Structure 1
Amino acid sequence: MELKQFFHPIAQDTLPVREAGTMSDNTDFHIAEHFPDWEAADIALVFVPEYRGLPLSENPKNGFVKFRKQLYNLKDLTVSCKIVDLGELITGALLSDTYDKLQKVCEYLLANNTLPLIIGGSHDLDLAQVKAYHDTEKTLGIVGVDAKPDMEQSGIPSEEHLFRILELYPSKIEYSHLAYQRFITDKNTLLQLSKLNADLTSIGQIRDNLQETEPVIRSANILSFDISAIRKSECQGAYHNNIFGLTPEEACQLCWYAGLNEQLTSVGFYNYAPKKDIQGDTAMLLSVMVWYFVEGYSKRRPEYSFFSNFHTKYIIPIDESLQTLVFYKSKLSDKWWMEVAFTEDETPVNGQIIPCSYKDYQDALEGNLPDRWIKAVGKVKDC
């Protein structure tokens, strides 16, 4: 089965003129009589014009033309990645058929170590993105960026997709949520996610210290980004957004962190509304977010063993009982990790090494157990 059969080719007249030094010069496009060599690519762009998961669905014709023109006119990266644009996914007769097609496409790409970068389409499409990992035996780290967690059981797919995702593999998913807004998020939803040991970060917490999101994103394999999390004044072409939310700079920073994460193997940007994007400003914003993700990807570096000369080890005493915390700092990237280990009924438990921040190290120096350590211990004990 060929990947080509899942996609419409891109109309030649909708593509920008290929210019040296721009993203278009580094991208292979699916056009008539030519399907790109996706097996040789680092990143594959997958456009999904599927909106039936929304309360008011629409299917705009050539809805991604503005986005493509903005993205491919951006300047090329310092370190280039091999990118392919596979075109628009051929949607199914039913919404569930589209899910199945997108899942198969992602499975193909992931099996080839090509990162799927999905541009949607309603946010419930991330259900297919996650289901593409069904064969994995490892814990699956998912980071969602959204103004509120979509946990409602309303019968509307875009409002309940997170609930359905967490039902898929309840013992295998570690979920983190960024940029939720407390005044539109039901407290019972937060309680439910807390019981699942989800890591929850509000928009206010992000604004207080954006850098603290980096370790959260670094623990993920999947990023699902609803652009309605960006405030409306800066992102008119999104569904369900409001006057509060992320700034464009914050959104791009999150994308850059995600690109840097060598464990992250798929990303989806959802709820782009072409019909609302009259001036094309949201297409520009989304294209720059993708640019920052790709730029971060181009700077990925393998992190060697924590017991190698590429890391510095710090052992910090916490209290008089001689309890210590162990930290590792990469000499290559300046990233931090800490070891999570505890003793229960005098029985030692093997430690886990998790991403952390310099702030966690500073907290330990002051004799305080970092919040990230306490949460991680709770997850280990519940396993």
Structure 2
Amino acid sequence: MLNPPTIAAPKTDKDDPRLGGWLRSEVENPKVVIIGFPSDEGVRRNGGRVGAAQAPDEIRKALYHMTPDAEETKLFTQLLEHAMDIGNVQVKGELADDQEALADITASYVEQGTIPIILGGGHETAYGHFLGYAKAELETAIFNLDAHTDVRPLKDGKPHSGSPFRQALKYPDGWAESYLVAGLQPHVVAKAHVEFIQKEGGSVLFRDETNITSISGFFHQHSSDRLMVTFDMDVVDQSQAPGVSAPCTNGLPVDLWLTAAYLAGRNEQVTSFDLSEFNPKYDRDGQTAKLAALTIWHFLLGLSQR
């Protein structure tokens, strides 16, 4: 069901340690686990440009070479002692089945209180991520940082990268308690989709409403016991994130994006995280890969300070 990472840990010494030296495939009492979901079949179905399936190991290449935080080294390394990277889900191209496979793995960790960090893949990753909660029979709120609502109907009855949150909100038994999406670009969002979210009890924040105050307020004010967080890289301005499935003109600045990842890590209610829509095929000098890895680094930094 899982393929081990193909990225070798960098050679380091005690004076220059790197994250790849800590991220083993098995540890006792894990607090955090990295899982790759190399799928972009949902992007293809949604009419996007494919290539995100290559993302998980490209993110690892950059992440493994990063160091623990130089200012909070002790806390960061204490977390890394209980972190592992178990590799990639063996996707087969049948998206619904692949999402079920991701869900089975995710459920096993959220049940025991380990925090999964899922490296997508297209944003179809988010539905497999959510299904993990449904399989574990755990209610969760959902926070999505994204230029798009991703609540489109299925296409010919099939899921895709634009449908995960409609699927979650309509899932039987109501495991999705609420849905907030921030960073929306008003010129690529249908009014009907906004109304659907609001009808389902969710909330939206458009690009100009999305700032540290609004994001921090949500992380500290929502009433759910659990919060599933999903970051879609297409919300970042394309000058800073050219390698994505759907580049964004006038997207969010990098400092806001990274601070949001840190705040998610710090928040006690956040029980899982995924990063989606990085597309190495269209990257420039590894710029987006490094940003994706730095996003995971900031989330880990926040986790280490809980």
The TM-score normalised by the length of structure 2 is 0.85
Instruction: For residue 54 of structure 1, give the secondary structure of its aligned residue in structure 2.
Output: helix
SS of 2:117's equivalent in the other structure is strand
**Structure 2 gaps, min length 5:** none
Q: 1:246 to 1:23 in 2, by over 3 A?
A: same
Q: CA 1:187/1:43 → structure 2, altered by over 3 Å: closer, same or farther?
A: same
Whole-angstrom distance in 2 between the partners of 1:213 and 1:63: 26
Letter in 1 for 2:87: G
Percent identity reads 20
The Cα shift of 1:85 comes to: 1.0
Tell me which residue corresponds to 1:73.
Answer: 65
Q: Distance in 1 between matches of 2:296 and 2:126?
A: 17
Partner of 2:181: 177
Q: Does the 8 A contact of 1:217 with 1:258 survive in 2?
A: yes
CA distance in structure 2 between the aligned counterparts of 1:243 and 1:170, rounded to whole angstroms: 38
Taking the TM superposition and a 5 Å limit, the aligned residue runs for 1:171-250 are 171-172=174-175, 173-207=177-211, 210-218=212-220, 219=222, 221-250=227-256
Note if 1:53 corresponds to 2:48: no
The count of aligned residue pairs is 285
- Residue 105 of structure 1: SS of its match in structure 2? helix
User: Distance in 2 between the 1:61 and 1:153 partners?
Assistant: 23
Q: How does 1:1-383 map to 2 (within 5 A)?
A: 6-11=1-6, 14-20=8-14, 21-28=17-24, 30=25, 36-37=26-27, 39-55=28-44, 58=50, 63-77=55-69, 78=72, 79=75, 80=77, 81=79, 82-134=82-134, 139-153=139-153, 155=155, 157-169=160-172, 171-172=174-175, 173-207=177-211, 210-218=212-220, 219=222, 221-300=227-306
Say which one has the larger Rg. Answer: 1
Structure ranking higher on relative contact order (CA contacts 8 Å, 6+ apart): 2
Structure 1 88/57 Cα, relative in aligned 2: closer, same or farther at 3 Å? Answer: farther
What's the secondary structure of 1:130's corresponding residue?
A: helix
Deviation at 1:137, TM superposition (A): 6.3
Alignment root-mean-square deviation, CA: 2.2
Q: Aligned in 2, Cα 1:242/1:296: closer, same or farther, shift over 3 Å?
A: same
CA distance in 2, matches of 1:152, 1:61: 21
Structure 1 residue 179 displacement after superposition: 0.6
How far 1:268 moved relative to its partner? 0.7
Q: Residue deviations 1:331-370, cap 9 Å, x none?
A: xxxxxxxxxxxxxxxxxxxxxxxxxxxxxxxxxxxxxxxx
Q: Which amino acid aligns with 1:214?
A: S
Contact 2:143 2:180 in 1 (8 A): yes
The letter for the 2-side match of 1:48 is: F
**Cα shift at 1:285:** 0.5
**Counterparts of 1:59 and 1:170, CA distance in 2:** 34
SS at match of 1:46: strand
